[in-house]
Structure 1
Amino acid sequence: MRKLNTRWMHPRDQITMIIDKIYRSGLTTTSGGNISIIDENGDVWVTPSAIDKGTLRPTDIVCVKSDGSIEGRHKPSSEYPFHIAIYKSRPDIKAVIHAHPPALVSFSIVREIPNTNVIPQAKHVCGPIGYAPYELPGSEELGTVIAREFDKGFNSVIMENHGTVVGGRDLSDAYQRFETMEFCARTLINGSTIGTPNYLTDEQINEFESQIPRLLPEMDEVEHPSDERAIREQIQRIVLRACDQGLMISSYGTVSVRWRGNDFLITPPNVARWDIQLKDIVQIKDGKREPGKIPSRSTWLHQEIYKRNPHVNSIILTQSPYLMAYSVTGEKMDVRTIPESWIFLQDIPNMPFGSHFAGQEAILNTLSVNTPAVIINNDSVLVTGDKLLGTFDRLEVAEFSAKSLTMGASLGKLVPINDQQVEALRKKFLS
């Protein structure tokens, strides 16, 4: 995963940027959580104590010098001692994030660790998760029990009745781990509301991770005419919008748009989705890829969808919180919640894990005008459409429907519109 290029950013600017993302994503409160970076001099830059996370500025960040002295306008976070303890225990860790994201707090108060084998990249990104027994916040004892877990090799730790703490080789790495871990926990909770989550074996995850894409040959020359550049802008806008709305996370999500004939543009792997740049997007022309770039590992699937479905001009493959509840449980999502849902989606079948691998035909044989989207078990949702904005709208409608169904399941028996009402919709809107 290519992280945000922070090489030229001062630690205080990095911290301000990431705490803002965490706060605006609803993963911490005004007063909760803290972030730090240790620099090459051994100085630790850390968020201040009792300062509004929603308005934090670079000048608010505090520096705890390697000799223990403190520089800054504020006091450092009361929990900075455990950050120091982690850095002493693990010199390879250069950034630490601690917060109280709701789903992970849920696991901490039932004293469980989320099983990341529920989706492939969760285990890959988070790694094994440690567990730190409860100690008084801000105490040396808390620093000791947390550092002990990191000393065992864990980069992610559940803090009993408290929250979570993660470390990374830089702040972008730590943030991706933090975000993915919370997403995994939320997926398990949502899935448990409607059914029973199914887990992948280590062998299945290894198969996913070791997939060697059918790498297309490179073109000799590449051109970027104005219509091609316009598509790049569309893709970038939609990816960023999906991230802002919680429909895509840093570590997963692919968007492609047909260009001319069966040529198309597609997002790359190994780029934090919220930091995607126009130049990152890969052109696929005449079965060849843009020189020097690697397209998404799902490029083969996108290519075949365009070849076999002339009506499809855009594809989004992503993980959104409530649709993933149906993905990890394999439960059938009944889109007959409200008329709009059925008109937009009609039916969303579940496809087995692995059906999105190169060379597989199941998804290709299922997608059609009347079946524009599929849920891939333990992996993602794939949505197709004409214009990219319309495809994104379809994703939103599907996610809203899944959210309504998941929330409704806690209230009582779900009662969708009936067959007669569906037939009336078919005649009025789809004839």
Structure 2
Amino acid sequence: MSKKINLEHPRDQITKIISRIYQRGMTTTSGGNISIIDEQGDIWVTPSAIDKGSLRASDIICVKKDGTIIGKHKPSSEFPFHKAIYEARPDIKSVIHAHPPALVSFSIVRQIPNTNIISQAKHVCGPIGYAEYRLPGSEDLGDVIADEFKKGYKAIIMENHGTVLGGSDLTDAFERFEALEFCARTILYGSQIGTPNYLTDAQTEEFEAQATSVLPEMKVTEYPSDEVEKRAEICKIVKRSCQQGLMIGSYGTVSMRWKDNDFLITPTGINRWDLELDDVVQIKDGHREAGKKPSRATWIHQEIYKNNPKINSIIMTQSPYLMAFGVTNSYLNVRTIPESWIFLQDIHAVKYGTHFKHNNNSDIVENCATALIIENDSVIITGDKLLQTFDYLEVAEFSAKSIVLGHSLGEMVPINDEQVEDLRIKFLT
């Protein structure tokens, strides 16, 4: 699938992405800056000391190639290192700098997060550089950062400062930023309940090698009204998942059964934040919609639908607190509050690679549970209506979060067997 051409003006791209970063709690009102260099060599950049929570396109500054500044504000005080990155790396067309809490945690202990904590992050982030501390806004800081980018890095941990990332466009930079912060959060949360385990390079390469278009193409595709309605539901839930921090732009698969064993599923290679109805892929009679690449996980969604007729929707995603359990081999006991047990009962985990087509997948496919964790990869949530499945995901993530946060207070005391039996009688019979 060819990459979408982004015809949004740089001003609009920047305001959209800074809004996402702010709303997700990955920068403060005054912190962080974003820039784009256009084909003329002009740099569009966020302004200095303007509220990131209400930034408008008219607030974005243009620094022309000749140094002329156009706009009603001053450009970001960190503009010098943005400029230095573009000069050092002509392939970089957008830069994001921010102070997201988890990456700042690594910054202040002077460590680099290991992106082999989850399957796709190494591919999305690439190797991570490290820039020693220099005075913010100084030419010296620009030199230090540019030197790291010259080594080929696109993601840098800034000592006692935060992070800076580059990309071939702003979407590429944001995916890298979001994935790296997710890795940092997962490692931090996992470290509170156990010891994080990491994938080998060979395992991450195996994930990337999975074929995305092995199904034959349909010759003709029809789009009746009920099919289009399901596309809209999928897009709505995917964007809501991103907004709620339950999915990141570079990873996450959502599907809905359409009729019989035919279904609709999200594509690969499309940022989840930007998913549109036409991006969703129809799978019918074992064939895929022509010209589209469905998720790598399409085959396992197909097998779940075939073997579990009561399941009509599936969400396969990464959320940080659930993945804290998924990277530490810790058991997630959902006997926390009545709602969690009623909805989920038990959440088991399967080994990494169980979700690959050539391996034994019976633990995932046969008698598929409401929630299942794949170690160092994802969580699979299943249900009837898609909104119900999303609710199960939220409940599972909230349960995991409560346990992680409560760990510092003492050992969890679960609902006992007698109380569980009362719940079973009242709500499940």
Question: TM range, normalised to the smaller chain?
Answer: over 0.9
Q: Give the Cα–Cα distance (whole angstroms) in 2 for the partners of residues 255 and 223 of structure 1.
A: 21
Q: Give the Cα–Cα distance (whole angstroms) in 1 for the partners of residues 69 and 94 of structure 2.
A: 18
Q: Give the Cα–Cα distance (whole angstroms) in 2 for the partners of residues 271 and 287 of structure 1.
A: 22
- AA aligned to 1:117 is N
Q: Give the Cα–Cα distance (whole angstroms) in 1 for the partners of residues 134 and 338 of structure 2.
A: 52
Give the match's secondary structure for 1:107. Answer: helix
State the match for 1:275 in structure 2: 274
State the match for 1:191 in structure 2: 190
Equivalent positions of 1:416-427 (< 5 A) are 416-427=414-425
Structure 2 alignment gaps of length 5 or more: none
Q: Percent identity?
A: 68
Any conservation in 2 of the 1:180–1:251 contact (CA below 8 Å)?
Answer: yes
- AA aligned to 1:424 is D
Any conservation in 1 of the 2:84–2:142 contact (CA below 8 Å)?
Answer: yes
Any conservation in 1 of the 2:307–2:367 contact (CA below 8 Å)?
Answer: no
* Partner deviation per Cα, 1:202-222 (whole Å, 9 max, x = no partner): 011111111225711112211
Q: Give the Cα–Cα distance (whole angstroms) in 2 for the partners of residues 219 and 212 of structure 1.
A: 18
Equivalent positions of 1:40-79 (< 5 A) are 40-79=39-78
State the match for 2:33 in structure 1: 34
Superposition RMSD on alpha carbons, in Å? 1.4
- Report deviation, 1:2: 7.0
Q: Give the Cα–Cα distance (whole angstroms) in 2 for the partners of residues 65 and 190 of structure 1.
A: 43
Query: Does residue 411 of the first structure (1) align with residue 409 of the second (2)?
Result: yes
* Partner deviation per Cα, 1:71-126 (whole Å, 9 max, x = no partner): 21111111100111111111111111000000000000000000001112111011
State the match for 1:287 in structure 2: 286
Any conservation in 1 of the 2:334–2:341 contact (CA below 8 Å)?
Answer: yes
Query: Does residue 253 of the first structure (1) align with residue 252 of the second (2)?
Result: yes
Structure 1 alignment gaps of length 5 or more: none
Equivalent positions of 1:363-378 (< 5 A) are 363-364=362-363, 368=367, 371-378=369-376
Any conservation in 1 of the 2:156–2:164 contact (CA below 8 Å)?
Answer: yes
Q: Give the Cα–Cα distance (whole angstroms) in 1 for the partners of residues 364 and 163 of structure 2.
A: 43
Q: Give the Cα–Cα distance (whole angstroms) in 2 for the partners of residues 217 and 338 of structure 1.
A: 46
State the match for 1:226 in structure 2: 225
Q: Give the Cα–Cα distance (whole angstroms) in 1 for the partners of residues 213 and 348 of structure 2.
A: 26
State the match for 2:137 in structure 1: 138
Query: Does residue 85 of the first structure (1) align with residue 94 of the second (2)?
Result: no
Give the match's secondary structure for 1:322. Answer: helix
State the match for 2:262 in structure 1: 263
Moved more, 267-276 or 66-75: 66-75
Query: Residues 358 and 238 of structure 1: is their aligned pair in 2 closer, same or farther, counting only changes over 3 Å?
Result: same
Q: Give the Cα–Cα distance (whole angstroms) in 2 for the partners of residues 366 and 97 of structure 1.
A: 40
Any conservation in 2 of the 1:2–1:272 contact (CA below 8 Å)?
Answer: no
- AA aligned to 1:377 is E
Give the match's secondary structure for 2:424. Answer: helix
- Report deviation, 1:363: 4.8
Q: Give the Cα–Cα distance (whole angstroms) in 2 for the partners of residues 3 and 395 of structure 1.
A: 30
Give the match's secondary structure for 1:120. Answer: coil
Q: Give the Cα–Cα distance (whole angstroms) in 2 for the partners of residues 103 and 179 of structure 1.
A: 11
The TM-score, its normalising length taken from structure 2, stands at 0.97
* Partner deviation per Cα, 1:268-306 (whole Å, 9 max, x = no partner): 111100111101111111111112212111111011111
Any conservation in 2 of the 1:367–1:374 contact (CA below 8 Å)?
Answer: no
State the match for 1:382 in structure 2: 380
Any conservation in 1 of the 2:371–2:382 contact (CA below 8 Å)?
Answer: yes
The TM-score, its normalising length taken from structure 1, stands at 0.97
- AA aligned to 1:169 is S
Aligned length: 429
Equivalent positions of 1:116-265 (< 5 A) are 116-213=115-212, 215-265=214-264
- Report deviation, 1:362: 3.4
Query: Residues 367 and 335 of structure 1: is their aligned pair in 2 closer, same or farther, counting only changes over 3 Å?
Result: farther
Any conservation in 1 of the 2:239–2:273 contact (CA below 8 Å)?
Answer: yes
Moved more, 398-407 or 288-297: 288-297
State the match for 2:317 in structure 1: 318
Q: Give the Cα–Cα distance (whole angstroms) in 1 for the partners of residues 292 and 115 of structure 2.
A: 30
Any conservation in 2 of the 1:214–1:300 contact (CA below 8 Å)?
Answer: no
State the match for 1:429 in structure 2: 427
Give the match's secondary structure for 2:415. Answer: coil
* Partner deviation per Cα, 1:174-220 (whole Å, 9 max, x = no partner): 11111111011011101101111000000111111112257111122
Q: Give the Cα–Cα distance (whole angstroms) in 2 for the partners of residues 75 and 152 of structure 1.
A: 31
Query: Residues 202 and 365 of structure 1: is their aligned pair in 2 closer, same or farther, counting only changes over 3 Å?
Result: closer
Q: Give the Cα–Cα distance (whole angstroms) in 2 for the partners of residues 412 and 367 of structure 1.
A: 37
Any conservation in 2 of the 1:250–1:273 contact (CA below 8 Å)?
Answer: yes
Give the match's secondary structure for 2:380. Answer: strand
Q: Give the Cα–Cα distance (whole angstroms) in 1 for the partners of residues 241 and 295 of structure 2.
A: 17
- AA aligned to 1:96 is V
- AA aligned to 2:321 is Y
